[in-house]
Structure 1
Amino acid sequence: MSHTTLPKRIAIVIDSLSGGGAEKVMLTLAKGLQARGHEPHLLVLEPAVEHEVPVDIPLHFCFGANEHNLDSFWRLNGTVAKLKNFLTQLQQNIGRFDLFLSNLHQTNLLMTHTGVSPLYCVVHNSMDEELKRQRKLGPIAWLEMWRAQKALNGQHLIAVSEGVADELRQSTRIMPASVTTIYNPFALAEIRAQAELIPEDLPKGDYLIHVGRFARQKRHDVLFAALKQMQHNLPLILLCSNRKKAQKAITKFGLQQRVIVAGFQQNPFPWIKHARALVLSSDYEGFGNVLLEALALGTPAISTACPHGPTEILTGNLAQWLVPRRDPVALAKKLDQLLDSKPDVTDAEILSKVTLDTIVQQYLALIADE
Structure 2
Amino acid sequence: MKKILFIAHTASMGGGAEKVLGVLIKELSQRYLVDLIERVEDSVLPFKIPNGNVRHLPSLSFTDRKCQELGNNVFCNRIWRILLSVWIFVLPRSVHRHFIKGSYDYEVSFNYLYCSSLVGNSPNRNSKKVMWIHGAIVDLLLPINAINSIRGKLKHWAERMMQKDAFSKSDVIVAISQRTHDSIADFCPEVKSKIVDVYNGYDLLNIDRFARTFEYPNSRLFRLVSLGRVTYAKNVILQVEAVECLRKKGIDVELLIIGDGDQIDYIQSVSKHNPHIKLLGFKPNPYPYVLASDALIITSLSEGFPTIAVEAMALGKPVISTPVAGTNELIDAQTGVLVDWSVESVAAGIEKMMTTKWDSRLIASSVSKYSKEAWAENVSNLLESL
Q: Give the TM-score taking structure 1 as reference length.
A: 0.84
Which runs of 5 or more structure 2 residues have no equivalent in the other structure?
A: 63-76
User: What are the superposed Cα offsets for residues 134-189 of structure 1, whole Å, 9 maximum, x if unpaired?
Assistant: 95893355345434432333222111112211221233576356001111120000
Would you say the 8 A contact 2:107–2:128 is kept in 1? yes
Amino acid at match of 1:150: K
Aligned position for 1:59: 56
Equivalence map 1:62-211=2 (5 Å): 62-63=59-60, 67-69=80-82, 71-73=84-86, 76-78=89-91, 80-87=93-100, 89-91=101-103, 97-104=104-111, 105-116=113-124, 117-129=127-139, 132=142, 135=147, 138-154=152-168, 155=170, 156-172=172-188, 175=191, 178-198=194-214, 202-205=216-219, 206=221, 207-211=223-227
Aligned position for 2:332: 315
SS at match of 1:40: strand
Answering whether residue 260 of structure 2 is matched by residue 241 of structure 1, we say yes
Change (3 A) 1:254 1:64: closer
Would you say the 8 A contact 1:108–1:151 is kept in 2? no
Which runs of 5 or more structure 1 residues have no equivalent in the other structure?
A: 1-6, 92-96
Q: Which sits farther off after the overlay, 146-155 or 261-270?
A: 146-155
Would you say the 8 A contact 1:208–1:234 is kept in 2? yes
Amino acid at match of 1:317: Q
Q: Which sits farther off after the overlay, 334-343 or 266-275?
A: 334-343
Aligned residues: 351
Change (3 A) 1:164 1:41: same
Change (3 A) 1:77 1:229: closer
Would you say the 8 A contact 1:71–1:109 is kept in 2? no
Amino acid at match of 1:124: H
SS at match of 1:262: strand
CA root-mean-square deviation: 2.9
Same amino acid, percent of matched pairs: 21
Would you say the 8 A contact 2:200–2:375 is kept in 1? yes
SS at match of 2:191: coil
d(CA) in 1 for partners of 2:322, 2:254: 20
How far the C-alpha of 1:252 sits from its partner, in A, is: 3.3
Aligned position for 1:263: 281
Would you say the 8 A contact 2:260–2:282 is kept in 1? yes
User: What are the superposed Cα offsets for residues 209-263 of structure 1, whole Å, 9 maximum, x if unpaired?
Assistant: 1112222222223222211222531221111212x62342343366542321111
Equivalence map 1:278-297=2 (5 Å): 278-297=296-315
d(CA) in 1 for partners of 2:36, 2:243: 41
Would you say the 8 A contact 1:234–1:258 is kept in 2? yes
Amino acid at match of 1:102: S
Would you say the 8 A contact 1:32–1:357 is kept in 2? yes
Aligned position for 1:3: none
Would you say the 8 A contact 1:11–1:99 is kept in 2? yes
d(CA) in 2 for partners of 1:136, 1:182: 36
d(CA) in 2 for partners of 1:296, 1:80: 42
Aligned position for 1:4: none
Aligned position for 2:320: 302
Would you say the 8 A contact 1:29–1:360 is kept in 2? yes
d(CA) in 2 for partners of 1:226, 1:166: 31
Change (3 A) 1:41 1:131: same
Would you say the 8 A contact 1:15–1:46 is kept in 2? yes
Amino acid at match of 1:61: P
Q: Give the TM-score taking structure 2 as reference length.
A: 0.81
Would you say the 8 A contact 1:150–1:174 is kept in 2? no
SS at match of 1:183: coil
Amino acid at match of 1:25: V
d(CA) in 2 for partners of 1:82, 1:75: 6
Q: Which sits farther off after the overlay, 44-53 or 178-187?
A: 44-53
Would you say the 8 A contact 2:218–2:292 is kept in 1? no
d(CA) in 1 for partners of 2:357, 2:148: 40
Q: Which sits farther off after the overlay, 210-219 or 125-134?
A: 125-134
Change (3 A) 1:265 1:254: closer
Aligned position for 2:371: 355
